[in-house]
Amino acid sequence: MIKFVKKYIYYVVTLVVFIIWMFFFDGNSFGYHQKLNQEIEDLESWNEYHKKKIEEDRIMIEKLKNDDELERYARERYLMHKENEEIFIIEFDTIESEK
């Protein structure tokens, strides 16, 4: 057994050093691949978010093709009004007053 270990110790040490080098220090190391996998996950979630936003906007565009819906949107969003019409904006105070 000792002869076997002495005979192949050089190969075992070389293999261990090679594996350690490839795992930690190489340009394509395990850490680098983990970083790339995380970046892929982030980009996929970014992509899904924007697909949802596109679908919401598509629905809003379909709604705004109706004149009544367009008028409602302009009044609520941009505070537009008709001639001889007054708009009163009521804001609620969300901070409770001390008693």
Alpha-carbon distance of 43 to 41, in angstroms, equals 5
pLDDT at 93: 73
Is residue 69 pLDDT above 80, yes or no? Answer: yes
State pLDDT tens for residues 1-56: 677 777 888 888 899 998 888 887 877 788 888 999 999 999 999 999 999 999 99
For the segment 63-67, the average pLDDT, to the nearest whole number, is 92
pLDDT at 98: 65
Task: Kindly state the tokens that stand for 29.
Answer: 């190391």
Look up the pTM and report it. Answer: 0.56
Q: At a CB cut-off of 8 Å and minimum separation 6, what does 15 contact?
A: none
For the segment 61-68, the average pLDDT, to the nearest whole number, is 93
pLDDT at 64: 92
pLDDT at 37: 95
